[in-house]
Chains A and B, each alone.
Chain A
C-alpha cells in the first residue's frame, strides 16, 4: 500500500484535466525531446552493458590474476555510491577541469556516460553466477569435437548466458530510464539537448507544472513496466526455446 497509493496518485493527476492535456504535456517539444533522449541513451547503454558486462563477468569467473578480488568488489560501487557523487566523480575526470583534457560535460555523451556508470553492475551480477555454474565439461566436449574457441563461445556458452544477459539488461534499462541524480551535474540539463526525462519532470515540479510532470512520469512508469515485463518474457522464452 505504501508503494501503490502514491503511484496511483501520479497516474490520476496526469489525467485530471482530461486526456488532451495529458497528450499535450507529453507531446510538447521539450517533453518529447527529453523522452527521446532518455530512450535512445538507455538503449545505447543497455547494448554496451550487455557486451562489456558479459566480458567483465567472464574475466571475473574464468581469468586469474592479482587484484581480481578487488575488481570483483568494486563492481558494486555504483550501487553503493550516491548518484550525485557519481555525477560529480565523472565530472572531475571528464569535465572542463579534467586532467586529460577530455571534456564531455553538457553533451549527450555525458548522459550516456553517467547512465553507464550507474547501470554497470546489473549485467555483470546477473551473468556471473550463471557462468560459475556452467559445466566446463560441455565446453571441453565441444572443443574435443573440433569446435574452435570462438565457435564454442558462440554456440555453447553464449546461449546458456542469454537469459541472464537479458534479465540483467532489463534491470539496467529500467534503472537508466529513471536515473536522475548522476545526470544533474554532468549534463547541464540543457532543454532539447541534454535534458533527460527525469530531469525534465524535476524542473516541471519546480516550476509548479505538476500535471505536466505527472504526465511524463506516467510515460516513464509505462516504459519501465513494459521493459521489465518484456525482458522477463524474453528471458523465459529463451529458456523455453532451449528446451
Chain B
C-alpha cells in the first residue's frame, strides 16, 4: 500500500512540475494585469494578422491532409502493390524528421537556387518567405495523422459491408460515401483534430520558411517568439494562452471522440 502511494506521488509530482504548474503559470501571467491588458495584446494589428494567417493555413492544410490521408489509408489497407512497405514508411517520415530539416528541405526545392525555386520566382510565384511555403511546411508536418488514425479503423471494419453495398447495386463512389466514410468517421475526426492541433502549433518548419516578416508571414507561434525576443513578455504570454486554450480544446475533443471509436 505504501509503495502504491509512493508511486502515485511520484507520478503526480512529475506531471505537476512538468505540465500543470508551468501551464497554469502562463495563464496566470497572461491575465495578471487583467483581462483588458490581455485583450489589448491580442487585438493589435500584428496579433490579428497572425491569428487570421494561422486560421488560413489551418483551413488549407487540414482539408488537404484529410482528403490525402483517407485516400492514402484506403490505398494502404485495400490494395496490394510493390513498394507498399515504402509508402507505409514514407507516410511516417514527418514524425521522424526534425521540423527544421523539413523546412530546410522545402527551401532547397522551392527557394532561391532551389530545384524549381528559380523557375517559380521567374514566373512571379514566391513560395519561400511567403504564405505558400508556410502552408507547404504545415501540410508536411501534419501529413501522417489522418492516415495513422484511419488505417486501423479500416482494417477493423473489413470489406464485407462494402461488398454487401455492391451486391445491393451501389457504385464504388456510392459505396465510399454511404458505407466506408460513415464507418470510419470517428477515426477521420480524431485524425482531423490531431492534424488541426499540429497545424495550429507548428513552429520550426514554418519559422524557417517564413522569413519572419512581422505582419506578413507571422503566425501565432511566430508571434509568441517575436514578442518574447522584443521583451514584450505580457504579449508573448497572451498569444501563448490563445494557443494553449486551443490545445486544451484539442484534448477535450480527443477525449470526447475516443470512447466512440469502439462502436
Contacts and interface: CB of A to CB of B under 8 A. Distances in A.
A85 B25 contact: no
Contacts of A13: 108
B93 A7 contact: yes
Contact of A220 (B93, B101, B207, B236): B101
Max chain B CB contacts within 10 Å: which of A3, A85, A88, A171? A85
A180 B250 contact: no
Contacts of A55: 7, 10-11, 14
Interface string B245-257: 0011011001100
Interface string A2-41: 1111110110010000000000000000000000000000
B201 A81 contact: yes
Given A2-B140, A63-B8, A89-B240, A198 B204 contact: yes
A92 interface: yes
Interface in B102-149: 102-109, 114-115, 139-140, 143
A62 B96 CA distance: 32
Contact of A56 (B14, B207, B240, B251): B14
Nearest to B241: A85
Contacts of B208: 202, 205
Most chain A CB within 10 A, of B104, B139, B228, B240, is at B104
Interface of B is mostly: helix
A118 to B, nearest CB: 10
B93 A3 contact: yes
B159 interface: no
A157 interface: no
B60 interface: no
A5 B105 CA distance: 9
A39 B243 CA distance: 30
B97 A63 contact: no
Interface residues of A, number: 69
Interface in A175-194: 175, 177-181, 184-185
Contact of A82 (B7, B19, B106, B202): B202
A10 B224 contact: no
Contacts of B25: 89, 92-93, 99
10 contacts: A3-B143, A59-B8, A59-B12, A80-B197, A81-B201, A81-B244, A89-B26, A171-B95, A205-B208, A224-B97
Interface of B: 3-4, 7-8, 10-12, 14-15, 18-23, 25-26, 29, 90-91, 93-109, 114-115, 139-140, 143, 194, 197, 200-204, 207-208, 220-222, 224-225, 228, 236-237, 240, 243-244, 247-248, 250-251, 254-255
